[in-house]
Structure 1
Amino acid sequence: MPKVDYALMYVTDDSIRDDNHFFAILEGALKGGATIIQLREKTSDTLAFYKRALRCKEICSTYDIPLIINDRLDIALAIDADGVHIGQTDMPYEVARRLLGNSKIIGLSVSNKEQAEQPNAQGADYIGISPIFSTITKTTDLAQPLGISGLKEIRQIYKKTIVCIGGIHKDNTKEIIANRADGIAVVSAISNAEDPEAATKELKEIVCKTGTN
Structure 2
Amino acid sequence: MSIREKLDISAYLVVGPENTAGRPVVTIINDALEAGFTCVQIRSKVASARELIELTRQASEVIAQAGKSDDVALLVDDRLDVILAARKQGIKVDGIHVGQSDIPVEVCREYLGEDSIVGLSARTYELFEYIQTADVTQVDYFGAGPLHETQTKPDCGLDRDGKMVTRSFADISKLAELSPIPVVVGGGVKLVDIPPLAQTGVHGFFVVTAVSEADNPKLAATDLVKAWKLSKHKETTEKW
* Kept after mapping to 1: 8 A contact 2:11/2:38: yes
Partner residue of 2:172? Answer: 151
Distance in 1 of aligned mates of 2:22 and 2:191? 26
Once the two structures are overlaid, the 10-residue window that deviates more, 113-122 or 125-134, is 113-122
Partner residue of 2:184? Answer: 163
C-alpha spacing 1:18/1:50, structure 2 compared with 1 (3 Å): farther
Amino acid at match of 2:62: I
Give runs of aligned pairs for residues 110-189 of structure 1, distance below 5 A. Answer: 110=122, 111=124, 112-121=127-136, 123-140=138-155, 142-143=157-158, 144-189=165-210
Indicate which of 58, 66, 80 corresponds to 1:73. 80
CA displacement at 1:120 relative to structure 2: 4.0
SS in 2 for 1:155: helix
* Kept after mapping to 1: 8 A contact 2:109/2:138: no
Distance in 2 of aligned mates of 1:192 and 1:35? 19
* Kept after mapping to 2: 8 A contact 1:8/1:183: yes
- Unaligned 5+ segments in structure 2 are 88-92, 159-164, 236-240
CA displacement at 1:17 relative to structure 2: 7.5
Indicate which of 220, 223, 231 corresponds to 1:210. 231
C-alpha spacing 1:48/1:19, structure 2 compared with 1 (3 Å): farther
* Kept after mapping to 1: 8 A contact 2:120/2:141: yes
Once the two structures are overlaid, the 10-residue window that deviates more, 69-78 or 152-161, is 152-161
Identity over aligned pairs, percent? 26
Moved over 6 A (4+): none
CA displacement at 1:97 relative to structure 2: 0.8
Partner residue of 2:43? Answer: 40
C-alpha spacing 1:131/1:53, structure 2 compared with 1 (3 Å): same
- Structure 2 residue 28 is the aligned partner of structure 1 residue 25: yes
Indicate which of 94, 99, 119 corresponds to 1:87. 99
CA displacement at 1:141 relative to structure 2: 5.1
- Structure 2 residue 63 is the aligned partner of structure 1 residue 60: yes
C-alpha spacing 1:193/1:18, structure 2 compared with 1 (3 Å): closer
Q: Larger C-alpha radius of gyration, 1 or 2?
A: 2
Compute the RMSD of aligned alpha carbons. Answer: 1.8
Distance in 1 of aligned mates of 2:142 and 2:61? 26
